[in-house]
Amino acid sequence: MAVETGRSVAQAAGGDARGHGRRTGRTPEKAPGPLRRALATHWYAWAMVAPVVIVIAVIIGYPLLRGVWLSLTNADEANVARTIGVNEIEATYEFVGLENYTAILTDSVFWDRLGWTVLWTVGCVSVTFLLGLMLAVMLNRKLRGRTLYRIAIILPWGIPAFVSVFAWKMLFNEKNGILNAVLSGGGIDGVPWLGDPTWAKISVIVVNVWLGVPFMLVALLGALQAIPSELLEAAEVDGANAWQRFRNVTLPGIRSVSSTVVLLSTIWTFNMFPVIYLLTRGGPGDSTEILVTYAYRLSFLNSPRDFATSAAWGVLILLLLMAFAVVYRRSLRKQGEVW
């Protein structure tokens, strides 16, 4: 935090000395040609950000606008422009206004999917966070084999998610998977892990938690280790018991890291495509389909492919994510970000 402040002070000083920076840039009242002056003082900053601005405008901005436009049309597989071999086929879809949106919002599918997405996100994030915190607290103590435990527990992070999901798919296999084999060895009937709507929901959450715990653990362990031990000692001298120390010293000490990782994890989980797509394909039925996988299904798995509705889902998802962005920004600001 001190570094952060020092930096901005130094920056302000440097900025003034050289005649650029926020303050001088914002007082163009009598300056001859404010635009020219701004250009003179900021041209190198603009030149430095230019590559990214151009790339983003071309490969994100333009498709995004096109996506919004598509969501206002009736585009589907049969009427979009495409190139087949050497033949170019012209687009024949039409503007239909907000029809797609009214159709989506008045249909129960969207609200069902939204409900499950919220449940999925809250469930995954809360369980992941609690497990991560628990394990971090345990690993933060002196014990034998700590490094070994640590390596083992963060292993899931090091494996590409799509590989791990296939590993789980194998464990979950209803007829032959090892989980059911173990259960039947114990005299319990096999569980339709991916075949029953409720079990499938539990299974995808389990896998996502498994994938997410290592990140939480490492981030929280770092935060725990950054708490000065003097604080805990002082609390102990003052007669605080273990729980009180945890509640009043440790938890406040890791609060800023916690809020960041919870927020990140919320965004990731909300957008988590591979787990659901690869494990259940959204099934059985559409019981495990979250918003992003459903939008994908509309345009790439269903037949005929419905690009317009899928684009409209995309826009609605974007609006939801904007809310996350605002919250995230606020949390960054609390940590001393200055923009």
Partner 1 sequence: MTTMNSTGATTATTTPDPTTTASVPAAPARPRRVRGRGERGPLASFGLHAGLLLAAVAAVFPPLWLLVTSFKPKSDAFTTSLVENFTFENYDHVLNDTYFLTWFGNSVLVVAVTTLLGVFISATTGYAVSRFRFPGMRPLMWTLLITQMFPMAILIVPLYNLMAQLGLLNQPVGLIITYLTIAVPFCAWMMKGFFDTIPVSIDESGRVDGLNPFGTFWRLILPLAKPGLAVTGFYSFVTAWAEVAYASAFMTGEENLTLAGGLQTFVNQYTGDWGSMTAAAVIIAVPAAIVFGFAQRHLVAGLTSGAVKS
Candidate residues 100, 121, 164, 280; the one interacting with partner 1 per rule CB under 8 A: 164
Is 300 near partner 1 (CB under 8 A)?
yes
Find the shortest distance in angstroms from Cβ 135 to partner 1.
6
Q: x/- binding map, residues 198-217, to partner 1, per CB under 8 A? A: ------------x--xxx--
Of 39-47, 102-110, 112-120, 122-130, the window that binds partner 1 (rule: CB under 8 A) is: 39-47
Nearer to partner 1, 193 or 313 (CB): 313
Of 97-105, 113-121, 162-170, 195-203, the window that binds partner 1 (rule: CB under 8 A) is: 162-170
3 state SS for 111-131: HHHHHHHHHHHHHHHHHHHHH
Peptide bond preceding 28 in cis form (omega within 30 of 0): no
Could you tell me which of 112, 111, 109, 128 has the C-alpha nearest to residue 269? Answer: 128
Distance CA 256, CA 224 (A): 11
Nearer to partner 1, 78 or 143 (CB): 143
Distance CA 280, CA 204 (A): 8
Q: Do residues 270 and 264 touch, judged by C-beta distance below 8 A?
A: no
Is 83 near partner 1 (CB under 8 A)?
yes
Find the shortest distance in angstroms from Cβ 198 to partner 1.
21
| Residues pairing with 88 in the sheet | 83
Candidate residues 32, 97, 158, 187; the one interacting with partner 1 per rule CB under 8 A: 158
Distance CA 104, CA 314 (A): 12
Q: x/- binding map, residues 91-130, to partner 1, per CB under 8 A? A: ----------------------------------------
Peptide bond preceding 284 in cis form (omega within 30 of 0): yes
Candidate residues 104, 183, 235, 332; the one interacting with partner 1 per rule CB under 8 A: 332
Residues 229-258 that bind partner 1 (CB under 8 A): 233, 236, 239, 257
Distance CA 4, CA 177 (A): 53
Distance CA 294, CA 120 (A): 14
